[in-house]
Amino acid sequence: MIKKITMPTGGQNTDEALLVKWHFDVGEKVKRGDILFDIETDKMTLEIESFASGYLISKKYDEDSMVKEGEIVALIGDDKDKESMLGEIANNEVQDSSSEIDDYQPIMASPQKVETIVEIEESKDEDVFIMASPLAKKIAREKGIKLEEIENAGSKIIHKIDVLNHAETRSEQEVEKNYTTIKHTNMRRLIANRMVDSLSTSAHFSIFTDIDMTKAIKIRDELNEELKSKNVKITFNDMIIKCATRAIKEVPAVNSSFFEDHIKVWNDVNFGVAVAVNNGIVVPVVHKCQNLSLTEIAQNNADNIAKAKAGAVKQENMSGGTITLSSMGMYGVGKFTSIINQPESAILSIGAIEKKAVVTDDDQIVVKPIMIITTTFDHRGIDGATGAEFSKKLKKYLENPIFLLA
């Protein structure tokens, strides 16, 4: 019996993936659980296992092909299927190759009237004569092009368009010497598309909030000292997620998605955390943060980040996000704005903790560790006052983490 292998889902933001590599050739025996092929989505590279045992009797797509979710990628069959199917495929390939030859028969273009006279010029190679129109020769002389440099110059009549095309190609090659070309990966292409789609779809506005991290730093140090034996380390991102989750409880509109005729306010706070990897950015998700302690958030987050950097994060840990956190503090960036990860309505941009002079309520100037958090909202569903209220609550809980125990 023949089993169909279909393309799995590429994630919540795309319905296609790049087929990167095949691990078996047609005719080879495959066991259930073997890695059949690799795909690259907008977020990661995945190894796809075969759910069936048998012989690979057909590949429907070549490597470096974009494949839609649900499309048949391969067929796996038993001994009888292998004999009958491979014979049938072989016949089809012969027919297909014949049709390809028919499809690509060369078509002779009619020369322009000004190029009807053909002159023959002897090249440096005594056995090759180059035929070119007077206009083509004139343009070649003006541009300093030797006719024998033009591709297939010895086997066709050179016209004006051939010289111009060669000049353009030569110019591009000269320019390319001044930079390095990096081919887009599927992840980079889809990230680019999503960012443009987000900006063209939603109306972004941002609120910058200065956070006094004095108490947060003290509590974090004390917790990490206590948790040493449990091999758990609390990061500032973990504390921000916990505080933001508490703020969302009081301002739930922030944890929402805008649609054409309604807004969905999500019950679960699923925090995505942007992680830089070799070829782009992935966003693993800590699910149901409202039910997790600070330690549990830290454990989930650390596990997700380690798997993301190793390229081993699973699809279920990459989907379902309702709000995202992006941090560049480790790079010394003081403040920045991020693009909302659709279909979410908010993203937090975390800057570095920097010592700054602050004027206290009693007009004293003191130096304090300040972090700037920029929260970008989708103005279609979140008004300025709502965004400001959320930012105010987030500041309150981060500056006074003791409130998280209430």
HSE-up of 143 (CA within 13 Å, CB side)? 22
CA distance linking residue 31 with residue 24, whole number of Å: 11
CA distance linking residue 338 with residue 374, whole number of Å: 8
Tokens for 128?
């090759």
Task: Name the more confident of 341 and 175.
Answer: 341
pLDDT at residue 155 in the model: 58
Domain of 24 in residue numbering reads as 3-102
- Going by DSSP bridges, is the β-strand pair 280-282/285-286 parallel, antiparallel, or unpaired? unpaired
Question: Of 102, 129, 163, which marks where a domain is finished?
Answer: 102
Tokens for 39?
């795909």
| 217, 361: one domain | yes
Is residue 107 in some structural domain?
no
| 265, 360: one domain | yes
Question: Of 128, 155, 176, which marks where a domain is finished?
Answer: 176
Is residue 75 in some structural domain?
yes
Give the orientation angle of helix 236-250 with respect to helix 214-226, to 10 degrees: 120
Is residue 181 in some structural domain?
no
CA distance linking residue 257 with residue 245, whole number of Å: 16
Q: What would the pLDDT profile of 25-73 be if each residue is shown by its tens digit?
A: 998 999 988 999 988 776 667 788 888 889 999 999 998 888 888 899 9
pLDDT at residue 176 in the model: 55
Is residue 16 in some structural domain?
yes
- Going by DSSP bridges, is the β-strand pair 129-132/119-122 parallel, antiparallel, or unpaired? antiparallel
Residue 46 vs residues 63, 240, 276, 279: alpha-carbon distances, Å: 14, 30, 17, 14
Q: Is the pLDDT of residue 262 over 90?
A: yes
CA distance linking residue 382 with residue 390, whole number of Å: 11
The CATH number assigned to the domain holding 266 equals 3.30.559.10
The alpha helices in 236-383, defined as continuous H runs, are 236-250, 294-309
Q: Which residues of 204-227 are buried (b: 16+ CB within 10 A; e: fewer)?
A: bebbebbbbbeebeebbeebeeee
Is residue 250 in some structural domain?
yes
Mean predicted confidence (pLDDT) in 292-311 = 93
Which residues pair with residue 30 across a beta bridge?
Answer: 54
pLDDT at residue 382 in the model: 97
| 280, 358: one domain | yes
Mean predicted confidence (pLDDT) in 108-115 = 36
Q: Which residue has the tokens 């009797």?
A: 57
The CATH number assigned to the domain holding 89 equals 2.40.50.100
The SS3 of residue 355 is: strand
CA distance linking residue 223 with residue 234, whole number of Å: 7
Mean predicted confidence (pLDDT) in 341-351 = 96
| 325, 195: one domain | yes
| 306, 325: one domain | yes
Is residue 284 in some structural domain?
yes
Omega of the bond leading into 343 within 30 degrees of 0 (cis): yes
Residue 154 banded pLDDT, cuts 50, 70, 90: low
pLDDT at residue 97 in the model: 35
Residue 129 banded pLDDT, cuts 50, 70, 90: low
| 144, 48: one domain | no
Tokens for 320?
């379902």
Is residue 36 in some structural domain?
yes
Mean predicted confidence (pLDDT) in 209-217 = 97
| 209, 355: one domain | yes
Task: Name the more confident of 175 and 59.
Answer: 59
pLDDT at residue 32 in the model: 87
DSSP 331: G
How many domains does one find in the chain? 3
Q: Which residue has the tokens 């758990």?
A: 232
Beta-carbon contacts of 251 under 8 Å, excluding residues fewer than 6 positions away, are 386, 389, 390, 393
CA distance linking residue 161 with residue 169, whole number of Å: 12
| 120, 265: one domain | no
| 53, 122: one domain | no
| 122, 44: one domain | no
| 196, 297: one domain | yes
Q: Which of 35, 51, 40 is nearest to 16 (CA)?
A: 40
Q: Is the pLDDT of residue 80 over 70?
A: yes
Question: Of 64, 82, 102, which marks where a domain is finished?
Answer: 102
Q: Which residues of 82-106 are buried (b: 16+ CB within 10 A; e: fewer)?
A: beebbeebeeeeeeeeeeeeeeeee
Task: Name the more confident of 135 and 343.
Answer: 343
Kind and range of the H or E run holding 171: helix 160-176
| 201, 319: one domain | yes
Is residue 208 in some structural domain?
yes
